[in-house]
A and B are shown apart, each in its own frame.
Chain A
Amino acid sequence: MTSTKEELKILAPCGMLGYGFPKSSFMKGMEYRPDAIVVDAGSTDAGPHKLGAGTAIVSKQACKKDLELIVTAGVEAGIPVIIGSAGGSGAKVHVEWTRSIIMEILQEHQIRNIKIAVIWADIPLEVVEAKLAEGKCEPLGLSVKPLTKERLYATSGIVAQMGHEPIIKALEAEADIIICGRAYDPSPFAAFAIYHGFDAALAYHLGKILECSALCAEPGTTKDSMLGILKKDSFIVKPLNDQRKCTAVSVAAHTFYEKDHPYILHGPGMVLNLENCVFTERGDDSVEVRGSRIEVTPVYKIKLEGAMKVAYRTFVVAGVRDPMLIARIEEVEELVKQQVAEYYSEVPPEDYSIHFINYGLNGVLGELEPHREPAHELGVVFEVIAKTQELANAVCSSVRSTFLHYGYEGRKSTAGNLAFPFAPSDVPFGPVYEFSVYHLMEVADGLEMFPIEYIEVRS
């Protein structure tokens, strides 16, 4: 669709749906009469657990609090509301969770005559299996393990990041609220702009900035609103809170954020090149950007994400203050491990593993740590990973009691080695996941894998 609009305004309430934002910033944004409200709700940041276990990143209460303002304002202004990567991971269960919250809001506010589009991003395992066999599915990253058939079918569900194409289709169908499953973070923003005939490179670059909302401002945050104003050959990003301003460097520097390359950004079916962008301060705390470029890739590839359960975990948090034990902590831990293995000699060693993290002694960086001197006290976290929760509990209990009473050489503190901050000390964690699928898959086009369902809410 080619629009006659000279400029297009998109309101980004916050960088993550459910993180919250000042109502005053959002309402200031609404005063600019935006053409759409778009918000990203997704991330793989919190690890594979959310996708694997089907849980959300934010609480229902927080998500509803944000959505209530967004949905009611969007409906009142008669502008589309687009939500990217609903529920965090964007799989069926996450999308349904978000949809049910929206339905609740519509009902509570007696909002009717609304068309909702739901764009699913779940990819059947058989499709991935067939593409693997054809050589059309490749790992993304040096440390991604090969995707065997066994690992594929152990994966609880696979989603793929959608581009702008299915979202444009939902806009063409005149949806008022669009709930996207897993989406490339900038896509919901870009889709709205491309639908209105604006340049795809500027649209995606603006989307890349707005998906984190005010993170490109100073001081930066994802918990505040931003306005994006798209023109024919540039775009402007404008903070909506007097306490923040954008500078040429703060906006340029944002392209660095959480991407592997500062100015080459890969997305579904395309590559964004921001190397020759020019960032200009406009004197009103906003920044204008020009020169974004985009290249459509010869083969359309989408990024797949899938998580599989790898084990169950039980862990203990404890502290050590006795200098004699601190001095030989790694040696004692090794001896504790050995003693537990001897005690559970009937359990195959591959069924469990024991892991110590010594906070205060390369606890954070592990083998990357250049300084290895321990502090005067150590936080010790130990975990047992096992085939079942029962086994993890049993072995962890044994590690805890062995460690607590271990008679290391020279010990004077014969009453106990560990200070536990909590009782009970052992915490059964439940399943542990890993990203089993993190692959690029070739598809026919941007629409192929993302079916759309429409719901009409009528009186």
Chain B
Amino acid sequence: MKLYDAAAVLRSKNSGPFEVTVDVLFDKPEIYYKIKNSGVINEELISRLYHIAPKSITHIVFFDQALGFKVTFARSVSSGTFLDRDVYGAQQHAPLMDLEIDL
């Protein structure tokens, strides 16, 4: 199953002008815990999907109360200046959408 189909919310947004944060939230606890416990969401995966160096990734955190996890990484160009393509960082979730997960 693709992560996009398994998640209830899959979104991205600036967390300040120098970072993008991606939120993946689920509505079924069994799916959330299966993904959390599988360990598939890790630095190596994010680095590969986003073509970014692991040191640019600042957070990968699961939060059980919200049935979701968050990934935050540094932007290569800060929001709203020359060469930026996404001022609000609102369309940066796409590389995670097609991730095949085993449920």
Contact = CB atoms under 8 A, between A and B. Distances in A.
Contact of B81 (A44, A48, A258, A277): A48
Contact of A262 (B14, B61, B74): B61
Given A45-B14, A367-B51, A355 B83 contact: yes
A248 B29 CA distance: 13
A368 B95 contact: yes
A49 to B, nearest CB: 6
Nearest to A435: B17
B21 A438 contact: no
Interface in B60-103: 61, 63, 65-70, 72, 74-88, 91-92, 94-95, 98
A258 B82 contact: no
Contacts of A47: 17, 79-81, 84, 87
A348 interface: no
Contact of A368 (B63, B82, B92, B98): B92
Contacts of B63: 252, 255-256, 262-263, 275
A7 interface: no
B41 interface: no
Given A277-B65, A365-B85, A256 B80 contact: no
A299 interface: no
Nearest to A276: B65
A260 B16 contact: yes
B95 to A, nearest CB: 6
A246 interface: no
Nearest to A47: B80
Nearest to B53: A142
Contacts of B98: 370
A277 B65 CA distance: 8
B27 A141 contact: no
B66 to A, nearest CB: 4
A279 B66 CA distance: 9
Nearest to B78: A435
B25 A256 contact: yes
Contact of A438 (B16, B25, B77, B95): B16
B85 A143 contact: no
Nearest to B70: A262
A253 B63 CA distance: 9
Q: DSSP majority for the A interface?
A: loop
B44 to A, nearest CB: 16
Contact of B13 (A253, A258, A313, A432): A258
A438 B68 CA distance: 29
B82 A434 contact: yes
Contacts of A278: 65
Contact of A143 (B18, B87, B88, B95): B18
A249 B66 contact: yes
Given A141-B18, A262-B63, A279-B65, A433 B81 contact: yes
Contacts of A252: 63, 65-67
A249 B78 contact: no
B85 A44 contact: no
B58 A142 contact: yes
Nearest to B72: A260
Nearest to A305: B17
A357 to B, nearest CB: 7
A137 interface: no
Interface of B: 9, 13-19, 21, 23, 25, 27, 49-52, 55-56, 58-59, 61, 63, 65-70, 72, 74-88, 91-92, 94-95, 98
10 contacts: A47-B81, A142-B18, A249-B65, A256-B21, A256-B68, A260-B16, A260-B21, A279-B65, A432-B81, A438-B17
Closest 4 CB pairs of A and B: A47-B80, A434-B81, A141-B18, A252-B66
Given A256-B66, A368-B50, A433-B81, 13 more contacts: A45-B14, A47-B81, A252-B65, A253-B68, A260-B59, A313-B82, A353-B82, A364-B86, A364-B91, A368-B95, A369-B95, A434-B82, A438-B18
